[in-house]
């Protein structure tokens, strides 16, 4: 989706973080939307935003995220991205 050839390129592109995946112009809105939707563990949020691919192109995604706490890893937030670019 990000047009990276491997995990290393993806980590370099995104800074290995969720914030690095979101288009900079969308980040503040996305973070506010997620915070307002996640009230307790196991809530699922849904938010649309843009990503910037390795080649500089933009894609639109629909993000489904979920926050959980595990004994092994502690607090974990995982996300499923669906490319919704027309």
Q: Would 1 be classed as within a structural domain?
A: no
Digit-coded pLDDT (tens) for 20-78 = 999 999 999 998 888 777 766 567 889 999 999 999 999 999 999 888 889 999 988 88
Residue 44 lies in a domain: yes
Prediction pTM value: 0.84
Domain containing residue 29: 7-83
Residue 2 counted as domain residue = no
User: What's the pLDDT score for residue 42?
Assistant: 60
CATH code of residue 52:
3.30.450.20
Is there a domain that residue 57 lies in? yes
Residue 65: what pLDDT?
87
Matching residue, tokens 């809530």: 43
DSSP 5-57: SSHHHHHHHHTTSSTTTS-TTTHHHHHHHHHHH--STT-EEEEEEEEE-TTS-
CA-based radius of gyration for the chain: 13
Q: How many domains does the chain have?
A: 1
């Amino acid at each position: 989706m990000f047009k990276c050839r491997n995990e290393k390129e993806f980590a370099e592109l995104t800074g290995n973080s969720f914030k690095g995946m979101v288009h900079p112009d969308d980040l503040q809105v996305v973070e506010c939307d997620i915070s307002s939707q996640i009230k307790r563990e196991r809530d699922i949020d849904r938010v649309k935003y843009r990503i910037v691919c390795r080649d500089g192109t933009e894609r639109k995604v629909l993000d489904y995220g979920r926050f959980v706490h595990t004994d092994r890893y502690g607090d974990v937030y995982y996300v499923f991205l669906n490319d919704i670019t027309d």
